[in-house]
Structure 1
């Protein structure tokens, strides 16, 4: 059977991906500085080898031949996903990929230097080149995939998502949030009148913080025989399902930052560890895109770790690991108020659950206009400032470093990625709404530190499904309906209104 050749190829691809993932995680955590040059050479070589393996001329022939073979239902799904990945890998000419890679690297290098100088004028010419190539990419992908150009870019991050579906959802959410942000801020001030905001006071030894984080990971279901926790400049979850590499970063004056980072990345890790083991070597066994991945991390961070029941269980564990003095004078309500603080701000990565979607919608609207040609790079600072003013009452016209230069995504050519963040938050809330009905005593379970049933639901409906279905189809199968902004809106009202 020709399908057997694709199955064997899948194992070869998995081996290369495994090496790339572990070497990349090691580079960010334990690699000595002197190893950087050779590590870069090795990663570059393996990346090239991976691409060559996927796009080899015979692969397309094998896919075509396998489509006529007698396959099981799972094998048919695996073949379809393999074909989708192959098409996306082969639809861009090699010379274009080289030109785009060089332009994006140069742009990112300039961005790192010029953002610190607040120099949009110096950055804009390089960014214009990135946008021009992104438009070319979008057009080529659109022709190969039979999609609209921006949809073809979103397809790289969340297969099945389309602007025609996402746009109305974001419009509903935006309309609600513009009015709700002031309401949430007023409600927060009323609560603070009787319960003033508090801050934890250190020092909190890093080793004790690490022990606390490890205990939380274990309670949430992380399998330490197939993963570990390290330290990096920016928290991430990498590695492979059989060897997940998770990181956080610590501050001795505040343990909550590291702990919330650990909880977020644990959500990613649980998803990876829960993917179908028999299909790890095929695209079918991979995680289903960025929105679903983000929904699993945000489910742990926000649906679980922002809830009072979680902190009723967690507070004694904090005292056990950091000492009673760490939380002296603190009650559950104080911690809940601290993690659920709402504040208007310019920086996306610092934004709270209420204001964060507006940051994403600003980017979504601008990058759609850039890819379609309705907006040029020269227009971005004013457009950004106008949208931030309309949505959050803030101005960035004189500080592009805090505006369109604040994220690395566009300088490195990643268009179509931003929607995944807020889609993930909405999907997490939609899953929680279903779980609350399926497990009526879920709050009591969390208060006892029992997360098994929560994991069982997600393992059955999300993790074990891998990439069997598109993002929208997976969500509808899991929750019984398409993405529904009213569920996320109800969640925000209940928590912050």
Structure 2
């Protein structure tokens, strides 16, 4: 059967993907600075090999022949998903893939060096090169798919995302948040007048924080036989489902930021570890886009880990690993004040869930203009500052380190990714609402630190389904209705307006 040829090809491609993923994770965590040039060459070569094998002309014939064979239902779905990826991949020449991989890795390496200095001028030429390549890729994908250039880039990360749809949702959410943030801040001020914030008993050793993070990962279901935790400049979850490489970063003056980051990345990891192993070498067995991926991480971080029920379980865990004096005189309400503290800030990854979507919408607005060519790289700092002032009342004009240089996405060529974060937050809130209807003991289970039923629900509804359905269909099947922002808005009002 021709299906068997595609199956064998899938295993070979998976092996190259495995190598690329592990090399990428190592480059961000353990590689010596002097290894950067050769690592970029190695990644570029492997990416070229993968692309050449995945886009070979004869695969088109294999797909057509396999579609005519007597296949089982899952096999037919697998071929259809393989075909979708093949069409997307064949629009990019191997030479372009090699050039793109090398440019993005070298840009990211330079970003790590220059971001700490806030050296925008030094970094600008490298980013210009990456943006030029992104525009070239958008044009190639647009020609092959018939999508608008930016839509074609988004389709890499979330098949089905279209700017026309997202624009309306984000405009509505932006208007809601700009009005709601003052409400949330006023409510917070009233609470603090009655119950002031308490000081943390710093310093907190990195090793003890690491042990706390590992304990939290284990509690919510992370499989340490198939994953690990390291340190990087920018927290991420990478590697492969059988060897998930999670990272975080630490501060000794407080531990909550790292703990929340660990829980966020654990949400990603649980999704990867829960994907169907029998289909791991097919597109069908991979995660269904980054919006769903972000929904899984934000479900753990926002819906679970910032709730009062979670901290009934977590307070003793903190004492166990950081010591009895880690939170002297604190109770759950004091912790919730900290983990749900709302403030207008510069850094996206440190933002609370009320202001966070505005950070995403800012980036979404700017990168659409970058790809369209209506915004030039040299003008990013001014454009960024204007939107920061409009959305959050803050200026970054003299602070590129905490402005347009703060994220790894653009230096690494990740244009079209940012919308997934906020779409994921909406999905997480909608999933949580549906889950509570199906699991009447959900709150009690969280308070006990028992996440088995919650994880089983997600395994059944999301993880095991992998890429069997489109993103909209997957959400509808899991929750009983199409994705909308109402649940996210209700969640924010419930947690922050009272």
**If the length of structure 2 is used for normalisation, what is the TM-score?**
0.92
2:43/2:101 contact within 8 Å kept: no
Tell me the equivalent position of 1:83.
Answer: 83
2:385 matched to 1:385?
A: yes
CA contact (8 A) 2:221 2:270 kept: yes
Q: Give 1:437's aligned residue.
A: 437
1:139, distance to aligned residue in structure 2 (A): 2.1
Structure-2 change in CA distance of 1:113 and 1:31 (3 Å):
closer
Distance 2:447 2:382 in 1: 48
Q: Deviation string for 1:38-76 (max 9, x for gaps)?
A: 655544433332222212222222112212222121111
Question: 2: distance between equivalents of 1:124 and 1:16?
Answer: 32
Partner of 2:292: 292
- SS state at 2:246 partner: strand
For residue 473 of structure 2, what is the aligned residue in structure 1? Answer: 473
Query: Tell me, what secondary structure is at the counterpart of 2:239?
Result: strand
Could you list the per-position Cα deviations for residues 213-263 of structure 1 after superposition, in whole angstroms to 9, with x for gaps in the alignment?
Answer: 222222211222222333344332222212222233334442323322221
Structure 1 CA distance for aligned equivalents of residues 103 and 350 of structure 2:
29
Q: Distance in 1 between matches of 2:27 and 2:377?
A: 34
Aligned to 1:247: 247
Aligned partner of residue 467 in structure 1, secondary structure: coil
2:78 and 2:36 mapped to 1: Cα distance?
37
Q: What is the rounded CA distance, in whole Å, between the counterparts of 2:324 and 2:241 in structure 1?
A: 37
| Deviation of 1:124 (Å) | 4.9
C-alpha deviation, 1:87, in angstroms? 1.7
Paired residues of 2:47 and 2:98 also in contact (CA < 8 A): no
Alignment partners' CA distance in 1, 2:379 and 2:34: 43
CA distance in 1: counterparts of 2:443 and 2:81, whole angstroms = 38
Q: Which residue of 2 aligns with 1:179?
A: 179
- Secondary structure of 2:245's partner? strand
What's the secondary structure of 2:325's corresponding residue? helix
Secondary structure of 1:267 counterpart: helix
| 8 Å CA contact 1:234, 1:249 repeated in 2 | yes
C-alpha change, 1:127 and 1:266, in structure 2 (3 Å) is closer
Partner deviation per Cα, 1:269-293 (whole Å, 9 max, x = no partner): 1111110111011111111121111
8 Å CA contact 2:52–2:94 kept in 1: the answer is no
Partner of 2:276: 276
Counterparts in 2 of 1:70 and 1:265: CA distance versus 1, 3 Å: same
Which residue is 2:402 aligned to?
402
8 Å CA contact 2:201–2:328 kept in 1: the answer is no
Normalised by the length of structure 1, the TM-score is: 0.92
Assess, with a 3 A threshold, how the Cα gap between structure 1 residues 213 and 414 changes in structure 2: closer, same or farther.
closer
Partner residue in 1 for 2:145: 145
Provide the secondary structure at the position in 1 that maps to 2:440: coil
Separation in structure 2 between the aligned mates of residue 258 and residue 2 of structure 1, nearest angstrom: 49
Residue aligning to 1:491: 491
Q: Hey, what's the Cα distance between the residues in 1 that align with 2:255 and 2:118?
A: 32
- Partner residue of 1:136? 136
Matching of residue 447 in structure 1 with residue 447 in structure 2: yes
Query: Closer, same or farther in 2 for the Cα pair 1:217/1:113, shift >3 Å?
Result: closer
> Per-residue CA shift, 1:430-476, capped at 9, x if unaligned?
11111121112311111111111110111011100111122222212
Stretches of structure 2 that go unaligned for 5 or more consecutive residues are none
* CA displacement at 1:28 relative to structure 2: 4.0
SS class of match (2:229):
strand
Can you list the C-alpha shifts for 1:157-214, whole angstroms capped at 9, x where unaligned?
1111111221111111001000111111111111111111123213434443333222
Q: How far apart, CA to CA, are the structure 1 residues paired with 2:122 and 2:231?
A: 34
Whole-Å separation in 2 of the counterparts to 1:110 and 1:273:
32
Give the distance between the partners of 1:39 and 1:134, measured in 2 at CA: 22
- CA shift, 1:84, in A, is 1.6
* Range moving further from structure 2, 37-46 or 158-167: 37-46
Report the number of matched residues.
497
Determine whether 1:218 maps to 2:218. Answer: yes
- What's the CA shift for 1:300? 0.7
Q: 8 Å contact 1:310–1:449 — kept in the other structure?
A: yes
Contact 2:362 2:387 in 1 (8 A): yes
